[in-house]
Amino acid sequence: MSSTRFDNMAMLVTNDPANEAGDGSPLGLIRDASMVIDADHVAWVGHQTHAPDADVLVDLDGQTVIPGFVDSHSHLVFGGDRAEEFAARMSGTPYSAGGIATTVAETRASDSGELRANARRLVAEMAASGTTTVEIKGGYGLTTDDEVRCQSIAHELTPESTFLGAHVVPPEFRDRRDDYVALVAGDMLDACAPNARWIDVFCDRGAFDVDEARLILGAGVAKGLLPRLHAHQLSRTGAVELGVALDAASVDHCNEMNADDLDVLASSSTVATVLPGADFSTRSRYADARRMIDAGVVVAIASDCNPGTSYTTSMPFCIAVAVREMSLTPAEALWSATAGGAKALRRDDIGVLAVGKRADFAVIAAPSYVHLAYRPGVALVSATWKSGSQMMRVPRSTTPRARY
């Protein structure tokens, strides 16, 4: 396997504050940088003037390199869409968990080939906007057979696949919710666990309560799955406290938080994942990520890509919204979308560009990472590399030359 050296970066974001050539900030910024990769990992990072030889040279022509985005929350396996529901919301209809049933019906009616093709299309969109790792949940099948189909597609597409049988109680169990909880924590879990790393519960108004969530997550943990949780999106249920008590890797959404929740999170190893796309597309009050960071909570940003609340695959869009609406600095938002996402997946091999880490990175056609928020809605990612191989490249003619 040959080594490749990337030269002429205006800026390299390493997320490694200890890098000697870096600026010592959490982003570990290096100007006039080079990076060498060897097979699937990073072999050298520093100033171009000290760069070692490599077999292949790539001139990045004044662009910026960042760690690939780690999108730690998505629901990509589904049938149909909910454009009409979105349009109604924009005219004042509030979001409720009930909309999930629409997608459940369309998912059940879709064959596995259609579900797979749709999920693959969305993963390709993600790669085109710089995402190198994505977590994918099931949760739109809600029968054992349909969840098995969805879970196996998620598992084909990522090692970070999540069992979400507890998304909502499906219509046929409306009057027998205890039976549904028993099914999720029993046969459905047993059938899906081989294709899942994580277990999640939508613990909120209109979905599952804290006791149900505790039971289901406990059953998943007993099967070897790791817990994570949809928490405090619509109401303050106590799901954040439950997540911390279970040492969940992440509690996600976190719109309805009080000071106690922040204290509990700050003294835990549970990450708070905010989902700017969901708050944007449900026209909700934005999660207060500024207050979380100021309280010492580790914050991740993810897309929550799903057909109901957040039909975006773009982490740059989520960064721009987090900066504009959640009052994060561009540096904080980028960290949360890369290193923060890695922490939300309990991964230490990604989210950082340092020797020995995975060669997962995105090339931004701009002189600084700040442009990700400064130029909202502009497709700035010119190339995405995962495990040392190029996943996506914009033809050179469409990549503007950066001046700095």
- Interface residues toward ligand NIG, by CB under 6 A: 75, 99-100, 103, 202, 230, 233, 278, 304, 306, 308-309
In angstroms, the CA 139 to CA 235 distance is 20
In angstroms, the CA 209 to CA 314 distance is 31
CB of 200 to Fe ion, least distance (A): 8
In the complex with ligand NIG, which residue's Cβ is closer, 193 or 305? 305
- 3-state SS assignment for residue 74: strand
In the complex with ligand NIG, which residue's Cβ is closer, 10 or 164? 164
CB of 162 to ligand NIG, least distance (A): 11
Contact code string over 155-194 relative to Fe ion, x by CB under 5 A = ----------------------------------------
What values do phi and psi take at 129, rounded to 5? -110, 20
Longest alpha-carbon distance in the chain: 69
Reported as half-sphere exposure (CB side, CA atoms, 13 A), residue 130 has a value of 30
In the complex with Fe ion, which residue's Cβ is closer, 284 or 382? 284
Residue 202 site contact among Fe ion, ligand NIG, none (CB < 5 to 8 Å, cut-off depends on kind): ligand NIG
* 331-360 positions binding Fe ion, by CB under 5 A: none
Residue 10 site contact among Fe ion, ligand NIG, none (CB < 5 to 8 Å, cut-off depends on kind): none
What values do phi and psi take at 348, rounded to 5? -110, 5
Residue 255 site contact among ligand NIG, Fe ion, none (CB < 5 to 8 Å, cut-off depends on kind): none
In angstroms, the CA 300 to CA 303 distance is 10
CB of 336 to ligand NIG, least distance (A): 17
Contacts of 275 (CB under 8 A, 6+ apart): 73, 252, 253, 287, 301, 302, 303, 304, 309, 310, 318
In the complex with ligand NIG, which residue's Cβ is closer, 100 or 318? 100
Closest CA relative to residue 316, chosen from 241, 384, 219? 384
Contacts of 327 (CB under 8 A, 6+ apart): 289, 290
CB of 99 to ligand NIG, least distance (A): 5
In the complex with ligand NIG, which residue's Cβ is closer, 308 or 351? 308
In angstroms, the CA 171 to CA 91 distance is 27
CB of 333 to ligand NIG, least distance (A): 19
* 297-316 positions binding Fe ion, by CB under 5 A: 304
Residue 89 site contact among ligand NIG, Fe ion, none (CB < 5 to 8 Å, cut-off depends on kind): none
Binding residues for Fe ion, rule: CB under 5 A, are: 304
